[in-house]
Amino acid sequence: MRILLAILVASLLLAAEPVPRGGRVLAIDINQSQRQALADDFDAAWSLAAACGVQNIGLSLDWNSIETAPGVFSDPGGYLLAANTYYAAQGATLTLTLRPLHNVVKPVPADLAATPFEDPSHTMATRFCAMLDWVMAQLPDVGIEALVIGSEYDVYLANHPAEWSDYGWFVARVADHVRAAPYAARVPRIAAEATFDGYSAHADAILAINGVCDVAGVSYYAIGTGFDTKDATAIRADLDALLAFASAAKPLSFYQFGCPSSWKDGSGTVHDRGSQQAAFIAAAFAFWDAHPAEVRLMDFTWLHDLDPATLAAQGDYFGSSDPAFINFLASLGLRTWPGAGAAKSGYTALRRQAFARGWGGVDPDDSGGDGGSSGSGGTSAGGTGGCGAGAGAAAMLGLLLALALRPLSSTAPRRSTPQDRRWSPG
């Protein structure tokens, strides 16, 4: 019954006439299938995303992965070099997320671990801006869609409520610095990404931080209790609720946006949610069509399911071994990971929805090859028993997309003190 309802709702959403893409920006977090990674073939992964009409790629890095000692900077994994060369050659823009806060983690340089985000010397903002200046010097060729200061920062601040005001000052000082920097014209938008739950629980504080930004950054995953998927009606209600924080002048940008294709319940049984993933895609585009001025960007997560090594690294990074959470991460991809990877119904739905609005150059129904569905196809990673007593879905919504993209193929190579201003959270 649940699957039939999902298909029915998706069919109703598809019935509306698609709105041409206009100035909207479509992004996919591109990662590789098993065979693509073994062959060091990022071009194959890129082609699958390009078939959907991808225009933008996100690159997300922890501050302390770049500033390895005070004033000492490095390009972690060669990701900056790769972004500047490969993505520029493809004509794609870059969403650059630099993370002083990342969900439950504060990944700042070790010597700043105990330093507040706001102090009389503006230490954190001054150091972050120096790092940012260095990063921008490594990216002279690729177009920048936005600079995002922190990823799901509200989760950390919910656990450290006394730091909301300090972080607001920090974001404001960094924004002031960027707008006065020599590269200001290259950074048309500044954002700070909060979770969907955060917009509800900490609305005033997030609105205040968004007040110094150009877009309202948000992460959204179509999951509810125990990481099970929401139906299309609930998804649309969630997305509609975010409109209270958006306008044509300050639109929403979804920097993390996805729905898993399977669910592991408390007994350890895995349930197929492939049709729900496809219904999520349909609901997302119907919402976007209804509010094209208020929603600038959607970045769908991920192209492929994560490989076992990355899943293990993410669990370690966030300190979570919850089987339901690991399965959630393991099945977020639009395609499966093993071998060459296979299209799930979510990938097929995304190609069709995008093509109907002017993204992608080839009709997916006429192109043959890789347009079919493989159901859920979730990878089997970390499944060792039933769901533990760890944090629930609401607290864990954002524990992902953390680690930057896997190394690319051989085709892609691997200040002044900010101006003072008044700021307060609400």
Query: Checking phi first, is residue 397 left (phi over 0); if not, alpha (psi -120 to 50) or beta?
Result: alpha
- The per-residue pLDDT for 108 is 98
Note the pLDDT tens digit of each residue in 145-197.
999 999 999 999 999 999 999 999 999 999 999 999 999 999 999 999 999 99
Domain extent, residue 266, equals: 2-396
DSSP secondary structure letter of residue 418: P
Q: Which two tokens stand for residue 86?
A: 């490969």
Residue 423 domain-assigned (yes or no) = no
DSSP secondary structure letter of residue 362: S
Residue 418 domain-assigned (yes or no) = no
Note the pLDDT tens digit of each residue in 288-332.
999 999 999 999 999 999 999 999 998 898 888 899 999 999 999
- The per-residue pLDDT for 370 is 62
Domain of 56, CATH number, reads 3.20.20.80
Strand-pairing partners, residue 169, are: none
> How far is CA 80 from each of CA 107, 205, 380, 386, rounded to the nearest angstrom?
18, 32, 31, 40
Residue 401 domain-assigned (yes or no) = no
> How far is CA 246 from each of CA 109, 210, 240, 295, rounded to the nearest angstrom?
33, 10, 10, 8
* Average pLDDT, integer, range 214-242: 97
Domain count, the chain: 1
Which SS3 state, helix, strand or coil, does residue 69 take?
A: strand
Residue 420 domain-assigned (yes or no) = no
- By the 10 Å C-beta count (0-12 exposed, 13-18 middle, 19+ buried), 415 is classed as middle
Q: Percent of the chain, pLDDT > 70?
A: 82
43-47, 90-94, 221-225, 368-372: least confident range: 368-372
DSSP 251-317: -EEEEEEE--SEEE-TTS-EEE-HHHHHHHHHHHHHHHHH-TTTEEEEEES-SBPPPHHHHHHHHHH
Residue 39 domain-assigned (yes or no) = yes
Residue 417 domain-assigned (yes or no) = no
- The per-residue pLDDT for 15 is 54
Mean predicted lDDT score pLDDT of the chain: 86
Residue 405 domain-assigned (yes or no) = no
Is the Cα torsion angle 57, 172, 209, 65 positive or negative in sign? positive
Residue 18 has pLDDT above 60, yes or no: yes
Which SS3 state, helix, strand or coil, does residue 151 take?
A: strand
- The per-residue pLDDT for 2 is 52
Q: How many residues does the chain have?
A: 426
In contact, 383 and 326? CB cutoff 8 Å = yes
pTM of the complete model: 0.85
Residue 129 to residue 120: CA distance in whole angstroms: 16
In contact, 148 and 213? CB cutoff 8 Å = no
Residue 419 domain-assigned (yes or no) = no
